[in-house]
Structure 1
Amino acid sequence: MPCFVPFKNNLDFTFFVLRSVGVLDDEIIDSMKCFSFQAEDLGCVYSSVMKSIHGNLIVWYGAWIKRSEEDRHILNEALLSAMEDLSHLAVLIQHGFYSVYAGESKDGQPNARFSTGDTILLCGMVPASDDSSDLSSACMTILRSSFNNVKESTAGVCFQCHNKPLVAMLHVWKSLQACYSWLIKADYRRTIRPYISSFSNEAQFDVFKVIFVSSDDVLNCEISQSKLVIGSRTGKGKVQLD
């Protein structure tokens, strides 16, 4: 079964971006797989682990049952506490809760789908002002024009961050070669970047390979006291949310 990003605004989404501090990424990836397994008890319905193709970034994606702002804050604190247990393996450089405000798929389905081994292009943009509406509109235009006309891109999603001025885009590609081919032909720095530069102070993108999705077999994930346990720092075990 693939991982899903529904286009309807009926779920909350999280992205945790980590930079590995070691030469080998196996331990941090295994820990994030266990993190996905534990997150299910807190209401996470879909999750995935992605690794940068050329860099040392690891991204954990989670889709959550919607909750009140207060409960979302409690959940966020629990997740951040668990991430602190990984400080010897990776540095947390970005995180947040998001909502979807636009999405397109080539097969007409109301979601983006990806599985282990797929290629993902992620882009994060900081608006030039506290009002991110112009940047959000620009990203939606890019989604519905440039990417929608490229047959090798199977789906795209635009996200708005809840707790900070930040807009993100996620695009699923049929292959790594197809993604690279589009990046070269589209000439991102000459075409797309100038289009959003007046609305954004900073735009960063990277290409990732999907290493794991929550529907994969996780029965071999052994969770011990030496590994992260969500909510363990509170001394109350797992966090319970309504």
Structure 2
Amino acid sequence: MEDKLPAFDSAFSIDCVIFGFEAGVLKILLIERNEEPFKDWHALPGSIIKQEESVDDAAERILYELTGLRDLHMEQFHTFGEVHRHPQGRVITVAYYALLRLTGQKELRPVTQFARKAFWHPINDLPKLAFDHSEIFNRSLNKVRRRLSYQPIAFELLPEKFTLTQLQVCYEAILNKKLDKRNFRKKMLSYGFLKPLPEKQKGVSYRAANLYKFDRRKYNKIFQSELS
């Protein structure tokens, strides 16, 4: 969150929880703060909403200014309004989250002095974060885990073409537990929205596995039929 509050009793802010997946590790996007309070601390990308902004416009601007990322599809997931969550006054924050495919992503580069740098950090080794950002992160992770039980959101983290092993490792990273290989593959293939491709992995020292693609059109068709 930005540091200078408007001259009224309460201010509103945005905090962004952006997940990425790389080399079998689930990561979170953090910044290193360059201003008080919590100068030099790690934090979620967040700042104060300007009076002339909508909440969604503020989320897009704040993420870009603090990380250099733009055009992400982010969703609101919770509002945090504890009275003393900000040491300088009453700040109510609207939290957003997104899942980001890291393959081919551009370099992280803040364009404001409030962040010294932006970087990806493994979720299993997080330091204590500024403000109540550890609580915001934990709630967002629980949200992602709940959604994973009824929506195939893991595909948003994977490359366009992936193996069943890569898919399982992604699920395990999100859920923080091991899954039975045979049961997992049987379950995933039974859904009908995995499209097998006529190609295999390239550039691996072990036996190359078959590649698959998430068939979003097929999934939408299945989802709509279940609703009707």
Larger radius of gyration: 2
| TM norm structure 2 | 0.30
Q: Normalized against structure 1, the TM-score is what?
A: 0.28
Which structure would you say has the larger RCO, counting Cα contacts within 8 Å and 6 or more residues apart?
A: 1
The structure carrying a bigger strand percent of its residues is 1
